[in-house]
Structure 1
Amino acid sequence: MSGLPVPVIIDCDTGVDDALALLLAVRHPGLDLRAVTCVAGNTDVDGVVRNTLTVLEVAGAGDVPVGRGAERPLIERARSARHVHGEDGMGDIGGLPVPRRAAADVDAIALLRREILASPRPVTLIPTAPLTNIALLLRTHPEVVRNIERIVFMGGAVATGNATPVAEFNVWHDPEAAAVLLTAGVPITMYGLDVFQRVVVPGADIRRLRASTDPGTRLAGELLAHRPSAPDPDGDDPSGGLGDAGAVCAVIDPEGIGTRLLPVEVSLAPGPTRGQTIVDRRARPGEAEIHEGGRQQAMVHVALDVDVERYVKLYLETVERTD
């Protein structure tokens, strides 16, 4: 990455790995974090706001505005992931400071509109959460598209889901919102489970982070320790998954992922496929298209490969910065 810092806005449901993403975005000199907006997902939206403010404060972010967003999906009821992220959404690691400032005096949608249109250069949106806020923004204020460079979202899966056998949590939580996102009319990169689950930090590095005297670096270590990853999550020296932070890595260093521009649609029907991101990797149309006409699917840059060592190195070098 070179030249001026990239203006970015993160829409999140903080969340252990959303917190890892925020720590990276705050500390990387190539990013200009203009705002953070919050949505219900990993925990309730008020918990997300609290966690976000805490992480920004620990990371030394200054007065980055934080907006409180949707309390629930467009249609579905809210369904948290506290069984993964703990009762407080931050792994119940304890000892976290109470934030000293409050959320912005405008809601997340108004904040998104304000910061996107006010940016002197087009903004990159990084949603790492259910896409409710983004869908509401696009439907309420379509004029923002003229100043959005691209959207790099953590969500979806080509192969296997985690919320269901075929659906990833963020998309499954609000499938209609994800379908709206795909109509944004700007370049979209899908950083899905196919790469999300591969980027893990070795246990030795996590121990070093946890021993740091810098609060932000130490917090990154504690959060990674809460996210033990395969192959030996219960061993003496477990690695920790970067999760959502990989989507921020993909903005900082897009050459670290291998993508293909592919047709994608979201399954909205009730039943076991609801929330699935259907990615068409076929070389030619099938019988359905031949006999029934082509479907109008969104074209998305789908991440299919990732340079794990490159992104782990990028993350560690950034969160250990104290200048």
Structure 2
Amino acid sequence: MNGQPIPVIIDCDTGVDDALALLFAVRHPGIDLRAVTCVAGNTDVDGVVRNTLTVLEQAGAPDIPVGRGAERPLIEPARSARHVHGADGMGDLGLPAPTRTPADVDAVTLLRREILASPRPVTLIPTAPLTNIALLLRTHPEVTRNIERIVFMGGAVATGNATAVAEFNVWHDPEAAAVLLTAGVPITMYGLDVFTQVVVPGADVHRLRASTEPGTRLAGELLAHRPAHQGEAPEAEEAGGLGDAGAVCTVVDPAGITSRLLPVEVALAPGPTRGQTIVDRRPRPGESEIHQGVRQQPLVDVALEVDVDRFVKLYLETVER
């Protein structure tokens, strides 16, 4: 990393792991968090706005503008993940209501304003369904001239979580994800393949929870709410997955992932594959392309492996700063 912090905008649906991502972004000196935009996903959009403002407040963040975005996907109804993130979308931790208020413009307007006003090209980090991003790209395509790249948490090469093959953020709004892939800027896909691997050990989570500093303690409480995997040994009980925060770690430490530039498309047809990110890892075209002609799919930098210890160390050093 060079000396200057990276201008970043996070588009999120603040549930537990989006909150972990925000805490990291606020505290890492290599990130200049210029705005946060909110979209329906883990919980309804008003809950996302409230959670986002609360996290920024608890983290002691400067006055970062927060924009309220889409209430629902482009076509589908909204379908929350409260069974994972709690009734309030944030682990039901009983956090105080925020004293901060959102920006007086909507998320798409805020995205356009902050991207074009940035003195250096912005890195956009969507950790949510991609509705706001699709609306931005279709309404204000001129923003791409000042976007360095998009690093999104979404998709899966192998196994999904919303369905057998589809990851939640892409499944929630597949059409929006398909629009993202046509953005015409470099895109990194931080999918479930690496997302599920980065787990903070129980002893570290316990230490964070015991902190007297509000942001550090909140990171511990969120991690404790986000169990690694069911059926683990009791000593792993407090261990928690970093989830979305890994995508932000990737921005400041790209060497922490092993990735390949691969063709990716989103399955849009109704049925069991809807929302799947189809990642073509074949070394050469197959019969389909030979007989029907090659369709050019967008090339995406797909994260295939992650250095777990490196990202855990980076995360802990940052939130305990």
Query: TM-score, normalised to structure 2's length?
Result: 0.99
Q: CA deviation at 1:295?
A: 1.1
Matched, 1:312 2:315: no
Equivalent position of 1:77 in the other structure: 77
Q: Gaps (5+ residues) in structure 1?
A: none
**Moved runs in structure 1, 4+ residues, more than 6 A?**
none
Equivalent position of 1:205 in the other structure: 204
- The amino acid that maps onto 2:244 is D
Equivalent position of 2:289 in the other structure: 289
Query: TM-score, normalised to structure 1's length?
Result: 0.98
Question: Hey, what's the Cα distance between the residues in 2 that align with 1:280 and 1:143?
Answer: 30
Secondary structure (helix, strand or coil) at the match of 2:101 reads coil
Secondary structure (helix, strand or coil) at the match of 1:311 reads helix
Contact 1:200 1:229 in 2 (8 A): yes
Secondary structure (helix, strand or coil) at the match of 2:80 reads coil
Question: Hey, what's the Cα distance between the residues in 1 that align with 2:232 and 2:247?
Answer: 23
Question: Hey, what's the Cα distance between the residues in 2 that align with 1:69 and 1:83?
Answer: 22
Matched, 1:154 2:147: no
Q: CA deviation at 1:2?
A: 2.8
Identity %: 84
Secondary structure (helix, strand or coil) at the match of 1:23 reads helix
Please provide the CA RMSD for this pair: 0.8
Question: Hey, what's the Cα distance between the residues in 2 that align with 1:149 and 1:227?
Answer: 31
Equivalent position of 1:222 in the other structure: 221
Secondary structure (helix, strand or coil) at the match of 1:249 reads helix
Question: Hey, what's the Cα distance between the residues in 1 that align with 2:78 and 2:262?
Answer: 30
Equivalent position of 1:92 in the other structure: 92
Question: Hey, what's the Cα distance between the residues in 1 that align with 2:311 and 2:260?
Answer: 19
Contact 1:199 1:311 in 2 (8 A): yes
Equivalent position of 1:127 in the other structure: 126
Q: CA deviation at 1:62?
A: 1.5
Q: Which deviations, in whole Å up to 9, do the C-alpha atoms of 1:8-29 show, x marking residues without a partner?
A: 0000000000000000000000
Equivalent position of 1:55 in the other structure: 55
Distance 1:38 1:251, change over 3 A: same
Q: CA deviation at 1:230?
A: 2.8
| Mapping of residues 95-114 of structure 1, within 5 Å | 96-114=95-113
- The amino acid that maps onto 1:163 is A
Equivalent position of 1:167 in the other structure: 166
Question: Hey, what's the Cα distance between the residues in 2 that align with 1:90 and 1:126?
Answer: 20
Question: Hey, what's the Cα distance between the residues in 1 that align with 2:120 and 2:150?
Answer: 15
Q: CA deviation at 1:237?
A: 3.6
Contact 1:228 1:234 in 2 (8 A): no
